[in-house]
Amino acid sequence: MSIFKKIALMALSLSVIFSFSACADTSWALKANGENINAGIYIYYTILAYNQAQSKLDAAASANSSSSSSSSSAETTQTTAETKFFEAFIDGKDVKTWIKDTATESVEDFIAVEKKFDELGLALSDEQKNAVNQALDYSWSQNSKFFEKNGIGKDSLKQIIRNNYKRDMVFDSYYAKGGSEEVSQDEINKYYNENNARVKYIAIQLKDGEGNLFKSADKAKAMEMAKDYQSRATKENFDDLIKEYNDYYAKVVAEAKKDSSSSSSSSSESSSSSSSSETEEEKDPYANEHILQKGGSVPSKDVCNEIFEKCKVGETTIIEDDEVYYVVQRLDLLERTDLLESNYESILYELKEDDFNQKMKEYAKTITFVKNEDAYNRYDPEKLKLD
């Protein structure tokens, strides 16, 4: 074969390769029942999955560093603080595969919501449409450069924001009042009452006015004070007892200051604050109340756990912490109908989120999805521009 023919064949081969390359359409990442899904939507969920992966690996590394054991009970494995990100594994998958799979599942969930929304004959209100546009304008004004350099267009972002509203409406069509699987008020009350506590407490400090921790004798005196407040709580207004202790400790701190002028100023401020607080308490029927979540960390994780385990409604209990003795009065949470009303949606979501997610996964199985491998290769997680 002459050199000219070889060159001609080589040129022909290259032209075929380049023509195929040029024709590869990466504007869509998946098809759903034959309908193209914007690649920008897949990229958006890829970024979210990347961040989730980073959080999982960081948590696993932290757990490993704080434990002398070579094994970890966490699902995320084979990672340390020094392990390179894409060399790690999550749930038995390499990070890149995990990110792609998670992003794909998110897109499938996105489509399931879209299809179910249409199937139910739902429609966004004008108010919701305006809210979508406002959220879009704000998000784009803040992050347009980031979105664009990663291949996420404004239309894709709008679809994602709008999908969140559709998701809420589909969710409500099942579980909200009048829904096909309406959650009763009794269920709402029961769940809220089991997972939250309504309390007031006196936080008796185990340190002097200068912040030094008490020794045994002073701690004993603090316990006597706590027991006295516990006893008085059966016949006196608990808000008055809280104010009494706060005023007492503010005075202890003020008197500990060496500079008399500073002490005087601090005392004056304390008096002013108490007066202001008293005024607020008179206006607020729920002054000094705290709504604690089960498993929470306020006022501390250990104290929160003990409140749920030891404190009974209508009783006052002393709970010891490292630097504070808490005199806790637990109140009837269900008396706060205002809280039940204002937290209705969040309670409902906590109750039924897992069920709803499973519904959407099952519904997604009825949809035929086709991946665009060219788009998946182009929008590889390692190519994300996150800085």
197 and 156 in a single domain? The answer is no
- The verdict on residue 367 lying in a domain is yes
Dump pLDDT digits (tens) for 245-292: 999 999 998 888 754 455 444 444 444 444 444 455 567 889 999 999
Rounded to an integer, what distance in angstroms lies between the CA atom of residue 196 and that of residue 194? 6
Assigned domain for 289 exists: yes
Among the candidates 316, 335, 354, a domain finishes at: 335
- CATH number, domain with residue 232: 3.10.50
> 341 lies in a domain?
no
Q: Are residues 225 and 370 in the same domain?
A: no
Does residue 20 form part of some domain? yes
- The pLDDT score that the predictor gives to residue 279 is 52
pLDDT at res. 24? 81
Q: Say if 54 falls within a structural domain.
A: yes
Q: Within this chain, do residues 309 and 358 fall inside the same structural domain, yes or no?
A: no
Beginning with the edge strand found earlier in the chain, give each strand of the sheet holding 290-293 in spatial order. Answer: 290-293, 196-205, 324-331, 316-320
Query: Domain check: are 234 and 303 in the same one?
Result: yes
Query: Burial code of 261-290, b = ≥16 C-beta within 10 A, e = fewer?
Result: eebeebbeebeeeeeebeeebeeeeeebbe
Nearest of 320, 157, 139 to residue 227 by alpha carbon? 320
Same domain, 237 and 117: no
Which two structure tokens, joined as six digits, stand for 253? 């701190």
The torsion of the CA quartet 249, 255, 260, 262, rounded to 10 degrees, works out to -30
Query: Does 167 share its domain with 125?
Result: yes
370: left (phi over 0), alpha (psi -120 to 50) or beta: beta
**Which residue range is the domain that position 306 belongs to?**
191-335
User: Within this chain, do residues 8 and 139 fall inside the same structural domain, yes or no?
Assistant: yes
Residues 79 and 227 occupy one common structural domain:
no
Question: Does residue 299 have a cis peptide bond before it, meaning omega lies within 30 degrees of 0?
Answer: yes
Residues 311 and 317 sit within 8 Å (Cβ to Cβ): yes
Which residues fall within 8 angstroms of residue 203, CB to CB, at 6 or more apart?
245, 299, 324, 325, 326
Same domain (yes/no): 195, 175: no
Burial class, 12, CB count within 10 angstroms (exposed 0-12 / middle 13-18 / buried 19+): exposed
Residues 90 and 218 in one domain: no
Cβ–Cβ under 8 Å, residues 200 and 238:
yes
- The pLDDT score that the predictor gives to residue 9 is 44
Q: What span, in angstroms and rounded, lies between the C-alpha atoms of 50 and 103?
A: 9
Based on the domain organization, do 165 and 222 belong to the same domain? no
Residues 264 and 247 in one domain: yes
Question: What is the domain count for the chain?
Answer: 2
Residue 340 lies in a domain: no
User: Distance from first CA to last CA of the chain, Å, rounded?
Assistant: 53
Q: Could you read off the pLDDT tens digit of each residue along the chain, which spans 387 residues? A: 554 444 444 444 434 333 344 458 999 999 999 999 999 999 999 999 999 999 999 988 888 876 644 444 445 444 444 458 999 999 999 999 999 999 999 999 999 999 999 999 999 999 999 999 999 999 999 999 999 999 999 999 999 999 999 999 999 999 999 999 999 999 999 999 999 999 999 999 999 888 889 988 999 999 999 999 999 999 999 999 999 999 999 999 888 875 445 544 444 444 444 444 445 556 788 999 999 999 999 999 999 999 999 999 999 999 999 999 999 999 999 999 999 999 999 999 999 999 999 999 999 999 999 999 999 999 999 999 998
In a domain, 172, yes or no: yes
> Residue 80 falls within a domain, yes or no?
yes
Q: Can you state the angle between helices 260-283 and 238-256, rounded to 10 degrees? A: 170
For the chain, give the number of residues: 387
76-77: strand order across its sheet: 76-77, 89-90, 93-94
